[in-house]
Amino acid sequence: EPEVTQTPSHQVTQMGQEVILRCVPISNHLYFYWYRQILGQKVEFLVSFYNNEISEKSEIFDDQFSVERPDGSNFTLKIRSTKLEDSAMYFCARRTLGTDTQYFGPGTRLTVL
Amino acid sequence: KQEVTQIPAALSVPEGENLVLNCSFTDSAIYNLQWFRQDPGKGLTSLLLIQSSQREQTSGRLNASLDKSSGRSTLYIAASQPGDSATYLCAAAAGGGSNYKLTFGKGTLLTVNP
């Protein structure tokens, strides 16, 4: 299975700023997911995305968050007006139609100062 | 709401020992159960996936079992090696198709000493 890549590997931002995390490259006919892991905590589901639509989102995924595929390949997670508690590892994952295994990217470490 | 718990939180064993990691989940209506490995600062690597209709899966020195009725899964690692040192995560999948998502446990940090 092709690897999932994410950029940047580490993002440092000031509180209140907007950040965009990217998952690249992307093939068609896939489900995409964003998860986050606050340091020392569990990996938590944020949102799933298929066919250019959100399939499901958790209670964490509020109006501060959005996802899209702006150019048909990259899959992005946008966090508006970042807060200190948004500091975490953010993982993108993919799943092929007809299979159940999720393949995770290496993650983006977001640090909000 | 699904809750996944893993015990022990940490485990240290000498090389060559066989070991068992435990995972429990509160909602038995799972779609499948996956075991992942996470190395420090890295992403998650899928190790084994057990469908809800299956009892166990094996891959090399790894064997995972599933008992849906009791809400338990175990990961058995035979003849452990220092390279097995990592955090092992258990995740229960809910739903299929577009509703598929994983609920993770906090993990077991395994250290295999040479």
Read off the pLDDT of each residue in B60-88 and give the average, rounded to a whole number.
Answer: 96
- 3-state DSSP assignment of residue A85: helix
- pLDDT band of residue A27 (cuts 50, 70, 90) is low
Quick check: A101 and B49 CB within 8 A?
A: yes
Q: Mutation test of the interface with chain A: which of B98, B99, B103, B109, choosing the one with the most A Cβ atoms within 10 A?
A: B98
- 3-state DSSP assignment of residue A36: strand
Size of interface A-B (CB pairs under 8 A): 62
- pLDDT band of residue B15 (cuts 50, 70, 90) is very high
Using an 8 Å Cβ cutoff, are A5 and A106 in contact? yes
pLDDT at A98: 77
Read off the pLDDT of each residue in A95-103 and give the average, rounded to a whole number.
Answer: 82
Higher-scoring residue by pLDDT: A50, B36: B36
Assess A57–B contact: CB distance below 8 Å, yes or no: no
- DSSP state for residue A81 in the 8-state scheme: S
User: Strands A108-112 and A10-13: what pairing?
Assistant: parallel
Q: Between A33, A91, A95, which is nearest B43 by CB?
A: A91
Is the pLDDT at A1 greater than 60, yes or no?
no
